Copies of this chain bind each other. A is one copy, B any other.
Amino acid sequence: MDAAEFRKRGKEMVDYVADYLEKIEKRQVFPDVEPGYLRPLIADCAPQDPESFEDVFKDIEKIIMPGVTHWHSPYFFAYFPSASSFPALLADMLCGGIGCVGFSWAASPACTELETVMLDWLGKMVNLPKEFLAEKDGQGGGVIQGSASEATLIALLAARTKIIRQVQSEKPELTEADIMGRLVAYASDQFCATLGTTSCCSFDKLLELGPICNKENIWMHIDAAYAGSAFICPEFRHLLNGVEFADSFNFNPHKWLLVNFDCSAMWVKKRSDLIGAFKLEPLYLQHHHQESGLVTDYRHWQIPLGRRFRSLKLWFVLRMYGVKGLQEHIRKHIRLSHQFEHLVLQDERFEICAEVVLGLVCFRLKGSNELNEALLKSINDAKKIHLVPCHLREKFVLRFAVCSRTVESTHIKFAWQHISQLATDLLKTWEHNHHQQ
């Protein structure tokens, strides 16, 4: 395929993607396929000779789409949102076209520098303390990781390296293994200091944890993967109070800030803590600017060596939505979650199981776990909407997460009427069976 054919096929693909997203509501949100559905549909091995674009293209609807869970359907209320927006898709096309690998400043200066500045923009949007910003000559700064798990791992490794070096300088007779055996990482059952847990979007009390960590010389990492995006709204920023005690902070614009996966933003107060843990300097990655202290080589900030030009997505989205547009998006989702909460509260068969702070509603039928498991099964078997459950203090709970960029009040009403009807049907049989027993 040459550039001329790419022009043609690329435009067809743009239309296909636009069609897909524009009409996604008409697709069943959760697929009908059974495990192993795909293998019999395609060849055993790669073709020897090239196939045409048309041949591949027609297999998208035939082979791929029947097995896709439509995360951007307005009937998708499972897990947490995965961001998607047109500006981010455009930026990703540019990122692929440029196709640079930004492991060092010299490997593509724009890739590194835009990332540093975008993380400053984003840090300012959530009003992070100045120590977390790179600015012109700060000690801190941000980096894009692939996921919150990677950010947590990086924080853990950096903290471990830092404390091992400190202990070794005080007690040189101890080996690394001696020290490692005595290190302790404190976490709740949702791990590290979390703002907006996955199960029920609860919040750790940073203002209590923070001073203890600082006093005891404990590295404090805050994971706000989902909730972090909400802090761009002044009315939710108080949830981040206490971040000033942290060493590192992370949230995922790819969840709730309309920047397509992957874009997990991480900040540290001291860049040197990360670089100290991961520095790797083979000659082929050295360049004459690195000794100047003026440049960032992001390979020292992450597990992988290579990295894409992901900051383009932030740049496109932040500029084309503006802070106000993004605030509107967050506020709409939170408004819709409260709408759903109110619908649940009006039905006395149901209960709300955790405070609704952002876009997640945890709810259940008053009754046994088995009853609620049956309700979830009937919801997901019907495949009109899609939800997943969680456990809260031994209770089986349904999670209703407002996810899609295009979800509106009518979808929320539909979802509730549907759930309510399924509950009515279920309770009839359930009481009947229960009575018989």
| A interface residues (Cβ-Cβ under 8 A, vs B) | 1-7, 9-11, 13-18, 20-22, 31, 33-39, 42, 45-53, 55-56, 60, 63-72, 79, 82, 84-90, 92-94, 96-101, 105-111, 113-114, 116-117, 120-122, 124-125, 136, 146-150, 153, 175, 177-178, 180-182, 198-199, 254, 260-262, 282-285, 289, 292, 294-295, 303-306, 308, 312, 315-316, 318-325, 388-391, 396, 399
> What would 27 A/B residue contacts be, using CB atoms closer than 8 Å?
A1-B86, A6-B17, A6-B89, A10-B11, A10-B17, A10-B93, A14-B14, A17-B94, A17-B97, A37-B113, A45-B121, A46-B121, A50-B319, A53-B87, A53-B90, A56-B315, A71-B98, A71-B108, A82-B306, A84-B99, A88-B96, A92-B93, A147-B303, A147-B304, A149-B303, A153-B303, A198-B284
Contact A109 B38 (CB under 8 A): yes
Q: Which 10 A-B pairs have the closest CB atoms?
A: A177-B181, A67-B110, A17-B97, A10-B14, A147-B304, A38-B113, A6-B86, A35-B294, A50-B322, A67-B109
Contact A93 B86 (CB under 8 A): no
The complex places the Cα of A96 from the Cα of B263 at a distance, in Å, of 13
Q: Which residues of B contact A178 (CB under 8 A)?
A: 181
Using known A-B contacts A90-B9, A284-B390, determine if residue A51 contacts B109 with beta carbons closer than 8 Å: no
- Other-chain residue from B38, B50, B304, B396 in contact with A321 (beta carbon distance below 8 A): B50
The complex places the Cα of A292 from the Cα of B34 at a distance, in Å, of 11
Q: Which residues of B contact A18 (CB under 8 A)?
A: 3-4, 6-7, 10
Contact B149 A304 (CB under 8 A): yes
Q: Which residues of B contact A56 (CB under 8 A)?
A: 87, 315-316, 319-320
Contact B109 A319 (CB under 8 A): no
CB A395 to nearest CB in B, in angstroms, measures 11
Contact B303 A94 (CB under 8 A): no
Q: Which residues of B contact A111 (CB under 8 A)?
A: 67-68
Which residue from chain B places its CB closest to the CB of A391 in the assembled complex?
B283
CB A361 to nearest CB in B, in angstroms, measures 14
Q: Which residues of B contact A53 (CB under 8 A)?
A: 87, 90, 320
Contact B109 A35 (CB under 8 A): yes
If over half of A's interface residues share one DSSP class (helix, strand or loop), that class is named, otherwise mixed; here it is helix
Which residue from chain B places its CB closest to the CB of A69 in the assembled complex?
B108
Q: Which residues of B contact A262 (CB under 8 A)?
A: 304, 306, 308
The complex places the Cα of A315 from the Cα of B43 at a distance, in Å, of 11
- Other-chain residue from B5, B125, B260, B391 in contact with A86 (beta carbon distance below 8 A): B5
Contact A306 B1 (CB under 8 A): no
CB A314 to nearest CB in B, in angstroms, measures 9
- Other-chain residue from B9, B89, B124 in contact with A45 (beta carbon distance below 8 A): B124
The complex places the Cα of A306 from the Cα of B226 at a distance, in Å, of 13
The complex places the Cα of A175 from the Cα of B182 at a distance, in Å, of 11
Which residue from chain B places its CB closest to the CB of A305 in the assembled complex?
B149
Using known A-B contacts A7-B18, A388-B284, determine if residue A79 contacts B108 with beta carbons closer than 8 Å: no
Q: Which residues of B contact A46 (CB under 8 A)?
A: 121-122, 124-125, 318-319, 322-323
Contact B50 A79 (CB under 8 A): no
The complex places the Cα of A154 from the Cα of B286 at a distance, in Å, of 27
CB A376 to nearest CB in B, in angstroms, measures 10
Q: Which residues of B contact A65 (CB under 8 A)?
A: 110
Using known A-B contacts A20-B97, A82-B101, determine if residue A89 contacts B10 with beta carbons closer than 8 Å: yes
Q: Which residues of B contact A148 (CB under 8 A)?
A: 305
Which residue from chain B places its CB closest to the CB of A175 in the assembled complex?
B181
CB A408 to nearest CB in B, in angstroms, measures 14
CB A48 to nearest CB in B, in angstroms, measures 5
Which residue from chain B places its CB closest to the CB of A288 in the assembled complex?
B377
Which residue from chain B places its CB closest to the CB of A106 in the assembled complex?
B69
CB A50 to nearest CB in B, in angstroms, measures 4
Q: Which residues of B contact A37 (CB under 8 A)?
A: 109, 113
The complex places the Cα of A334 from the Cα of B99 at a distance, in Å, of 22
